[in-house]
């Protein structure tokens, strides 16, 4: 999607930086994705105006966070990619509360809070991505999930065209699912974290890092787990049991370390990855009678 000169000039007035014709292969952990214009927002307050402008001009858009849990279509994309304002460090702590921008790095948040003796989120170390993406999906690992610590979330509510603050108690955080509307955009979060000495947090972080390195292909291009675990089961174990590790479509391959991670071993396309996903879903259905649900978010054109 290419933005014409007229809307480009109006976006500039709103302080938005336009980057034309960007390839998303470099912006996703899978190394897959087509080309489009990118808009970098400078201030949260301008979001409602920017969104109105895009609607007026009929410019389709999506917000791209860390790019670590998405599979994006190949070729010229029909939506522009929006990026939230990025501040450094984009977080601060006050007593047991942490105030964090959605664009902040998730692992960076765990260590930032840890160094200030606030713990609980050690399991999230090594989960790549942004805080906003983690909130939307209720990211979790090693027995914890981010939703447990959320007290408030500031969101842009597309339905109302406004920025609103939601209370943690009014949001449902389930397994890799939340009650946010699909077009809500996470902007900032307030977390309440338990006090813990940094040395203890660091020890927890080391254990999680070690577990992750020994069971997941951390140095390969992936989007984490492709499927959600079915109730009471493990998608990774089921795929492994069918002997599918190393199975591939083009350069899209089932990791030989963890069968629920599909890796890009070279120049995999979105369509290779989608074929592999559908093939595995069908095989699991035939073998176990279970239809696996995607954990990875797919952006078709
Ligand atoms: N297993 C196999 N073969 C495999 C992979 C796993 O036999 O190839 C077995 C393991 O030995 C273990 C069981 O399956 O007995 C579960 O595996 P694991 O502990 O690796 O956990 P998981 O259920 O596969 C979940 C999350 C991960 C998270 C880990 C650690 C989902 C879909 N996955 O994986 O999250 O890192 O637990 O807490 O919920 C993600 O969301 O992208 C993700 C990677």
pLDDT of residue 151: 98
pLDDT at 51: 97
- Closest residue to atom 20 of ligand 1, CA basis: 215
Query: Which residues approach ligand 1 with their CB closer than 6 A?
Result: 141-142, 215, 224-225, 228-229, 234-237, 240, 258-260, 295
Task: Tell me the C-alpha distance between 161 and 125, whole Å.
Answer: 34
> How far, in Å, from the CA of 98 to the mean position of ligand 1?
29
- pLDDT tens per residue across span 199-238: 999 999 999 999 999 999 999 999 999 999 999 999 999 9
- Identify the residue whose C-alpha is closest to ligand 1 atom 15: 237
Query: How far, in Å, is the centroid of ligand 1 from the Cα of 260?
Result: 7
Q: Which two tokens stand for residue 3?
A: 């933005």
Nearest CA to ligand 1 atom 16: 234
- pTM to 2 decimal places: 0.97
For residues 228 and 110, give the distance between their C-alpha atoms in angstroms, rounded to a whole number: 24
pLDDT confidence of residue 245: 98
Q: Which of 124, 204, 225 to mutate to test the pocket of ligand 1 (most atoms within 8 A of CB)?
A: 225
d(CA 82, CA 200): 38
Largest Cα separation within the chain, whole Å, is 57
Closest atom of ligand 1 to CA, residue 126? 36
Going from the Cα of 261 to the center of ligand 1, the distance in angstroms, rounded, reads: 9
The residues facing 118 across adjacent strands are 195
- Ranges of residues in the chain whose predicted pLDDT is under 50: none
Residue 171 token pair: 């949001």
Ligand 1 atom closest to Cα of 255?
A: 8
CB 131 within 8 A of CB 101: yes
Extended beta strands in the chain, E state: 17-23, 35-40, 61-63, 70-72, 80-83, 91-94, 97-101, 140-141, 144-145, 150-157, 162-167, 173-174, 177-178, 184-192, 248-249, 252-254, 262-264, 297-299
Pick from 137, 211, 236, 290 the residue to mutate for probing ligand 1's pocket: most ligand atoms within 8 Å of its CB. 236
Q: Is 21 left (phi over 0), alpha (psi -120 to 50) or beta?
A: left
Cβ–Cβ < 8 Å for 194, 114: no
| 39 Ramachandran zone, left/alpha/beta (phi>0; psi -120 to 50) | beta
Query: Is 257 within 8 Å of 212 (Cβ atoms)?
Result: no
pLDDT per residue over 238-252, tens digit each?
999 999 999 999 999
Distance 229 CA to ligand 1 centre (A): 8
Both tokens assigned to 259? 């069968």
Distance set, CA 110 to CA 115, 121, 138, 151, 255 (Å):
9, 6, 15, 17, 27
CA distance 135 to 177: 9
Predicted local distance difference test score (pLDDT) of residue 176: 97
Q: Which of 283, 290, 170 is nearest to 234 (CA)?
A: 290
Q: Write the DSSP symbol of residue 27.
A: G
234 Cα–ligand 1 center, Å = 7
């Amino acid at each position: 999607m290419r933005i014409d000169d007229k809307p480009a000039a109006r976006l500039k007035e709103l302080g938005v930086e336009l980057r034309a014709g960007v390839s998303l292969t470099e912006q996703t952990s899978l190394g897959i994705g087509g080309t489009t214009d990118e808009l970098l927002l400078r201030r949260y307050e301008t979001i409602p105006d920017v969104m109105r402008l895009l609607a007026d001009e009929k410019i389709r858009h999506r917000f791209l966070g860390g790019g670590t849990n998405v599979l994006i279509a190949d070729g010229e994309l029909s939506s522009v990619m929006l990026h939230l304002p990025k501040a450094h460090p984009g977080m601060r702590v006050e007593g047991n509360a942490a105030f964090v921008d959605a664009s902040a790095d998730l692992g960076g948040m765990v260590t930032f809070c840890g160094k200030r003796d606030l713990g609980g989120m050690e399991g999230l170390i090594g989960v790549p991505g942004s805080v906003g993406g983690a909130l939307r999906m209720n990211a979790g690992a090693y027995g914890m999930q981010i939703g447990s610590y959320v007290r408030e979330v500031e969101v842009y509510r597309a339905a109302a065209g406004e920025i609103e603050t939601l209370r943690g108690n009014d949001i449902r955080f389930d397994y890799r699912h939340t009650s946010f509307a699909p077009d809500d955009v996470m902007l900032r979060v307030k977390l309440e974290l338990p006090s813990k000495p940094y040395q203890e947090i660091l020890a927890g972080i080391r254990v999680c890092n070690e577990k992750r390195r020994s069971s997941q292909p951390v140095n390969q291009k992936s989007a984490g787990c492709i499927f959600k675990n079915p109730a009471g089961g493990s998608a990774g174990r089921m795929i492994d049991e069918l002997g599918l590790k190393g199975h591939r479509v083009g350069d899209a391959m089932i990791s030989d370390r963890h069968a629920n991670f599909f890796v890009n071993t070279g120049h995999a396309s979105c369509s290779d990855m989608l074929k592999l996903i559908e093939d595995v879903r069908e095989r699991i259905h035939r073998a176990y009678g279970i239809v696996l649900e995607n954990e990875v978010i797919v952006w078709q054109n």
